[in-house]
């Protein structure tokens, strides 16, 4: 009995790891794209994954979402192995993904796009867009009857993030949300990410090539080069640890 309580105390004192990736490998044909990646994502934190073009960032996210099978390695979610889970099972478990290039439904309205994000819930709970989405992104309320395809790039990115948040994830994965977006919207997206992390009940895994944006948000940083993690540390140390030079051209 005493041992049981001691064990509980030890577990509680550890930081809560939502996602643990161990020795992940992936290939495209004969090209070895991910080469033994291992890292953790913690609750209440923004983890920024940085790296130049083509190093394997998107490939990693696709493996984490189950859109590509892992060739080797283990993905654990809240202590449970999910390496073989299908994408929808991961969404049901509380993981949401905003892909690079956004991929919203151009012919559906903003509201319809957001309702798609509720598909993990039973019908009765999936009829109305939750108010918190419109509170985070007021522009989506103004535009709710417009077609997704008519929105600006920045508004589409906000819509894609809003749709992902509608599933009430505990991990939000974002692939280069600032790519091709005007500075004022980048600021708004940054503020939302900060707000979500401050809530303390979810984690954010942010892939970014815009160094200043990543440095502003990161609690933890990871630098990838050619499919490997070449450096990692705490967000506040990014400048001192020379991350800018590793990821900017
Ligand atoms: N479907 C595919 N088939 C074959 N090779 C691919 C495929 N998708 C990506 N690659 C290659 O795999 C490598 C990693 O690509 P990935 O898209 O993961 O990089 P990335 O770090 O996300 O790059 P970017 O910053 O440009 O988005 C690149 O060399 C790319 O050309
Ligand atoms: Mg990419």
Candidate from 24, 25, 27, 28 with most ligand 1 atoms within 8 A of CB, to mutate: 28
Q: CA distances (Å), 4 to each of 7, 9, 12, 68, 166, in order?
A: 5, 9, 13, 39, 38
CA of 159 to the centre of ligand 1 (A): 25
Structure tokens at 173: 């994965």
Token representation of residue 53? 């073009």
Ligand closest to CA 68? 1
Burial of residue 200 (number of CB atoms within 10 Å: 0-12, 13-18, 19+)? exposed
Distance CA 192, CA 189 (A): 5
CA 162 to chain centre: 13
Show the DSSP H helices in the chain as ranges.
Answer: 2-13, 57-65, 87-93, 110-116, 131-136, 138-142, 153-166, 183-199, 211-217, 243-247
Cβ of 76 below 6 Å from ligand 1: no
Q: Is the minimum distance from the CB of 57 to ligand 1 under 6 angstroms?
A: yes
Ligand 1 atom nearest to CA at 51: 21
Q: Are 232 and 224 in contact (CB under 8 A)?
A: no
For ligand 1, is residue 26 a contact (CB within 6 Å)? no
Q: Are 153 and 181 contacting, i.e. CB atoms less than 8 angstroms apart?
A: yes
Residue by residue, DSSP assigns 27-87 as EETTEEEEEEEEEEEETT-EEEEE--TTSSHHHHHHHHHTSS--SEEEEEETTEE-TT--H
If the chain, 249 residues long, is cut into consecutive pieces of 10 residues, what is the mean pLDDT of each piece?
Answer: 51 70 95 96 96 96 96 95 95 94 92 91 84 96 96 95 95 96 94 94 96 96 97 96 89
pLDDT at 126: 77
Cβ of residue 59 lying under 6 Å from some atom of ligand 1: yes
- Mutual angle of helices 183-199 and 153-166, in 10-degree steps: 20
Which protein residue's CA is at the shortest distance from atom 11 of ligand 1?
54
Residue with CA closest to ligand 1 atom 14: 56
Atom of ligand 1 nearest to the CA of 224: 21
**Number of the ligand 1 atom closest to the C-alpha atom of 29:** 4
Of 54, 55, 178, best ligand 1 pocket probe by most atoms within 8 Å of the beta carbon:
54
The two tokens of residue 95 are 């993981």
Q: Are 87 and 75 in contact, with CB atoms under 8 Å apart? A: no
Confidence at residue 4, expressed as pLDDT on a 0 to 100 scale: 53
User: What is the predicted pLDDT for the residue at 13?
Assistant: 41
CATH (one of 3.90.76.10, 3.40.1350.10, 3.40.50.300, 3.90.1150.10) for 16-247: 3.40.50.300
Q: What is the pTM of this model?
A: 0.92
Q: Which atom of ligand 1 is nearest to the CA of 52?
A: 25
Q: Helix, strand, or coil here: 232?
A: strand
Give dist(CA 240, CA 249) in Å, integer. Answer: 18
In the prediction, which pLDDT does 248 show? 82
């Amino acid at each position: 009995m005493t041992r049981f309580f001691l064990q509980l105390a030890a577990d509680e004192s550890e930081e809560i790891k939502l996602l643990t990736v161990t020795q992940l490998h992936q290939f495209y044909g004969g090209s070895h794209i991910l080469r033994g990646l291992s890292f953790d994502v913690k609750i209440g934190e923004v983890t920024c994954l940085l790296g130049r073009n083509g190093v394997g960032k998107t490939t990693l996210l696709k493996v984490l979402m189950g859109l590509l099978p892992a060739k080797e390695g283990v993905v654990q979610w809240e202590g449970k192995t999910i390496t073989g889970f299908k994408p929808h099972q991961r969404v049901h478990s509380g993981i949401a993904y905003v892909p690079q290039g956004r991929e919203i439904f151009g012919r559906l309205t903003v509201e319809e796009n957001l309702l798609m994000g509720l598909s993990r819930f039973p019908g009765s709970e999936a009829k109305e867009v939750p108010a918190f989405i419109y509170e985070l992104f007021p522009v989506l309320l103004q535009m709710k009857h417009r077609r997704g395809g008519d929105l600006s790039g920045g508004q589409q990115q906000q819509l894609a993030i809003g749709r992902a948040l509608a599933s009430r994830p505990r991990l939000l994965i974002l692939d280069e949300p600032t790519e091709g977006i005007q500075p004022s919207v980048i600021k708004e997206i940054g503020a939302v990410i900060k707000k979500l992390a401050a809530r303390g009940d979810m984690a954010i895994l942010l892939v970014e090539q815009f160094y200043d944006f990543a440095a502003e948000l990161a609690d933890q940083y990871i630098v990838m080069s050619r499919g490997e993690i070449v450096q990692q540390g705490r967000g506040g140390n990014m400048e001192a640890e020379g991350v800018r030079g590793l990821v900017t051209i």
